[in-house]
Structure formats: C-alpha cells, structure tokens
C-alpha cells in the first residue's frame, strides 16, 4: 500500500512539473505564429512602396520572432520594400508552423535514418579527415590568421591601413598576371626552342627547320617552326624571339588573317591544349605557310 501511494505521488509530481513546461512551449509557439500572421496581414493589405507599413510589419515580426526570419526582414527593409517575396516567405512559415514534420513512431524513423546513413555512399561522412584534408585546413587557418593580423594591427605602427592589404593583394595578382602573360608570348617554342640556334633567325631558317622536324616525325615542333617562319615574315626576324605579342596577334598583320587559321588553330591546340598534330592537319598547315615561303624562294633566286 505504501509503495503504491509513493508511486502515485511521483506520478503527480511529474505531471505537475511537465505541465508548465508544455504550456510554456505551446504559449511560445502561439506567440510566434501570431507575430508571423500579423506581419503577413500587414504585408498583404498594404500598398506597393509603403515604407511605413514595411517598418511596422518588420517591428511586429521582430517583437514576436526576434531575428529568426532575416530573409523577410531584408525584404521589408529594401527600397522599395519587396512585399511580394515577404508575403510568400511568411505564408511558408505559417504553413511550416501549422504542419510540423512529426512522426507517430520516432523509434522507427530513427532506425530508418540510421539504415540510410550506413549506406556506402555516406561512408565519407563517417571517416576521419585525411592527412591532405588536415594539411589544407591548417594552411587555410594560417592564411586566415595572417589576414586577421594584417587587419587587426601589427608592428610598431599599430593598425595596418586597409589600402596596404589591398596593395599587397594587387601586387600578388600582378605577379601572377605577368607570369601567365610571359608564358603566352608569341615565341612559345616549347621543345622546339631547344633545337634552334640562339638569337633571331631568318624566316627561311625556320622553314628549313620545319622540314627537318616534320621528316623526323615531330609534327608539333614542325608546326611551331612554321608559325615562327610566318611570324618572322610578317613582323621581322626578332618577332618570334622577343615579341610580347601572341601568335594570333602577329598573324592579324597578314592581308587575310582568317586564311591562317589552318596553321594557327593546330598550333594553339598543341601549345595551350597539349594536343598532338596529325599528318593531315600538318599538311594543311604547311600549304597555308607555303604562301609565305614562295616569296622567300623567289627573292633568294
């Protein structure tokens, strides 16, 4: 009898403790929903561009929900206020509050969730980060710390001005641009550069070198030599060796630049794309370059 009485006392205490918590939670949810509904009513019944109504709706929403709806507040603070998007978002919030995602069997739902998460496709989520991942994160953290130190103040001068940070970033970007630009100059000769004599050469020498490379099966080097010969014919012997222009820019000096595309395109594909040059493509390029070769032969004769 005493044990049964003690059990009933404990049950009564548990109900007494849990009831205020449940009531408080329900009260909070009700106030939250009421604030959303009131804000929606204001938004739906206002005229477009009414800034005062937008401020009123925003204040009602903040009083009832705090800052938990930043997208809606952002819509209401725009100039002019975006009432259409705000109303759409508020309706979605009301729908979520009125139709919460619940389940009648939480244990079964949890079991199914664990079954899904144990699938092979989610193995990466359960693994520890690799050494490379940790190294990359460490480098990123150090960079962030350096940037924070730059912005927060270092050295005897105190806080580093923002323009100093921007100047450093601009200098780094400039170096990168210069390196990329230099790698794309018109004299991109690759492996072919190692077999040619140092210094500027006459177009005829480049044509002769193209013939030798083509005969040996090096069509990539041969097409480079053809481009060098045409570039030297169009813009002078020193063009290929030291011009800041790209091959495409040099070829624009030709009377008909488009006619050089069968030579230019395989060159760019080989240099920038690392592709090979097949025999048919090289023959077409050689035919195009031959137009610049004939005047040299006639001049030598």
Residues 249, 233: Cα–Cα separation, whole Å:
14
Check whether 181 has a pLDDT greater than 50: yes
190-219 pLDDT per residue, tens: 444 444 555 567 888 888 888 999 898 898
Q: Given a cut of 50, is residue 284 above it in pLDDT?
A: yes
**pLDDT, tens digit, 9 for 90 and up, residues 114-167:** 888 787 777 777 778 778 888 888 888 877 777 776 666 554 444 555 556 666
The pLDDT, as a whole number, for residue 196 is: 52
Q: What is the pLDDT of residue 201?
A: 76
The count of C-alpha atoms lying within 13 angstroms of the C-alpha of 5, restricted to the half-sphere facing its C-beta, is 2
Identify the pLDDT of residue 85.
92
Whole-angstrom distance, CA of residue 72 vs CA of residue 42: 13
pLDDT value for 24: 45
Q: CA 155, 161, 162: angle at the middle one, nearest 5?
A: 130
Whether 41 shows a pLDDT value over 90: the answer reads yes
- What residues contact 74, with CB distance under 8 A and at least 6 apart? none
The CA distances from residue 224 to 132, 195, 282, in Å, are 40, 12, 11
The structure's pTM equals 0.36
Q: Is residue 236 exposed (0-12), middle (13-18) or buried (19+ Cβ within 10 Å)?
A: middle
Averaging pLDDT over each range in 15-19, 50-54, 270-274, which range is the top one?
Answer: 50-54
Provide CB contacts within 8 A for 245, sequence distance 6+.
Answer: 185, 186, 235, 239
């Amino acid at each position: 009898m005493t044990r049964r009485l003690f059990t009933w006392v404990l049950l009564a205490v548990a109900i007494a403790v849990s009831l205020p918590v449940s009531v408080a939670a329900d009260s909070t949810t009700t106030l939250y929903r009421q604030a959303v509904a009131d804000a929606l009513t204001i938004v739906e019944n206002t005229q477009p561009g009414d800034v005062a109504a937008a401020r009123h709706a925003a204040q009602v929403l903040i009083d009832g929900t705090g800052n938990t709806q930043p997208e809606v507040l952002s819509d209401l603070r725009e100039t002019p206020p975006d009432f259409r998007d705000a109303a759409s978002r508020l309706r979605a919030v009301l729908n979520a509050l009125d139709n919460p995602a619940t389940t009648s069997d939480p244990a079964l739902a949890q079991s199914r969730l664990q079954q899904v998460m144990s699938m092979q496709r989610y193995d990466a989520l359960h693994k520890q980060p690799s050494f490379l991942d940790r190294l990359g994160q460490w480098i990123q953290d150090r960079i962030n710390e350096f940037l924070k130190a730059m912005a927060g103040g270092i050295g005897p001068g105190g806080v580093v001005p923002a323009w100093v940070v921007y100047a450093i970033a601009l200098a780094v970007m400039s170096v990168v641009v210069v390196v990329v630009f230099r790698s794309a100059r018109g004299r991109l000769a690759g492996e072919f550069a190692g077999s040619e004599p140092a210094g500027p050469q006459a177009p005829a020498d480049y044509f002769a070198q193209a013939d030798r490379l083509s005969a040996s099966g090096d069509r990539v080097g041969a097409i480079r030599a053809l481009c060098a010969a045409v570039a030297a014919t169009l813009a002078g012997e020193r063009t290929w060796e030291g011009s800041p222009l790209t091959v495409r820019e040099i070829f624009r000096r030709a009377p008909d630049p488009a006619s050089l595309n069968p030579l230019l395109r395989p060159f760019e594909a080989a240099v920038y794309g690392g592709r090979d040059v097949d025999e048919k493509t090289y023959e077409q390029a050689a035919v195009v370059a031959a137009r610049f070769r004939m005047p040299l032969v006639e001049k030598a004769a």
